[in-house]
Homo-oligomer: A and B are copies of this chain.
Amino acid sequence: MTESIYVGVDVGGTSIKLGLVNGEGNLLGTFEGPTGTEAGSEVVLQNITEYVRKLVDQSDYDWGQVAGCGLGFPGFMDMSSGIVRFAPNLRWTNVPVREPLEHILQKPVRINNDANVAALGEAWAGAGKGIDDLVLLTLGTGVGGGIIAAGKIHEGYNGMAGELGHIQIVPDLEAIRCGCGQKGCLETVSSATGIVRMAQDALERGEKTALGMEPEVSAKAVLDAARAGDEVAIRIVTRAGYYLGRTMSMLAVILNPQRFIVGGGVSQAGDILFGPIREAFAKYTPPAIQEGIDIVPAVLGNQAGVVGAAGLLLRS
């Protein structure tokens, strides 16, 4: 019997990444091409099918071995009907994906949200391998989230579960307005954007810090400065970590995951971020619930998306 393989597709606004994955979640080959967003959804779907065929053609595997194709999209979607409801980066509203792709590829197709798919990737073959209940928090421009429960993505009733960046964790007194319209969302303090904003605020207040030396403050600059001992930078990263830890406390009593995985660029900060996360989590989580839970960095990086998308065929 020949081995079944799975195609995972990570659709972004500028590029589409693909991976060929085996039944254990190992990456056997990759492909990347432009999305072609400006040409409209039909062209994007054509590009996807073309890239899928190229990925398989370039590999040592036959088309007949492909058991299906999973796709992760940035935005909101109806997973069961396979329709992308709203994807601002692609300028899509109500674009059917599953049906047309199944028709063209003649293979089962699954779609899901990109943050959910990344969580599934880490759960299947990354930092959560072998663990059925986990939460991924991805620290980037915003804070993305994905919940894996009993080995599967927790989707919610209309696919909007896991919007963990919009947990209102910052107390009203010190909360600022988030892009979502609410105040005090986790991503106002723990995303790259949040870290940059806190640094700019410190500079505007005239605080003594090495950060001002750079022409533009980046999250990486703040993390580097914190590691180098800059007190203002340390305070900012500690605050980002503190609210992540408190959010995890809250998630732990609600979801009881076995592991929290922190991904995204900011997560590469290391102990300077994970220290405050773990400290706040230990302080604010009831001991009985805290027991046996760990907090670890993601390991798959950009590949979590394609691996997890391929995993949709096996785990949804």
Contacts and interface: CB of A to CB of B under 8 A. Distances in A.
Interface of A: 76, 131-133, 145, 147, 149-150, 152, 154-164, 166-168, 171-173, 180-182, 246, 249-251, 253-258, 284-289, 292
Given A150-B154, A168-B249, 19 more contacts: A147-B254, A149-B156, A155-B256, A156-B257, A157-B292, A158-B292, A160-B288, A161-B255, A161-B256, A162-B256, A163-B286, A164-B254, A166-B253, A166-B286, A166-B289, A167-B250, A167-B254, A168-B246, A182-B285
Report how many copies the assembly holds. Answer: 2
Contacts of A181: 286-287
Contacts of A284: 168, 182
Given A154-B149, A286-B180, A254 B161 contact: yes
A173 B289 CA distance: 24
**From A131, A133, A166, A255, residue with most partner B Cβ within 10 Å:** A255
Nearest to A163: B253
Contacts of A159: 256
Nearest to A132: B157
Contacts of A166: 253, 286, 289
A160 B252 CA distance: 9
17 contacts: A133-B156, A147-B254, A149-B154, A154-B255, A156-B255, A160-B288, A162-B256, A163-B289, A164-B253, A166-B289, A167-B253, A167-B254, A168-B250, A171-B172, A182-B285, A250-B250, A254-B254
A209 to B, nearest CB: 27
A166 to B, nearest CB: 5
Contacts of A253: 163-164, 166-167
A179 B19 CA distance: 50
A157 B161 CA distance: 19
Contacts of A246: 168
Nearest to A286: B180
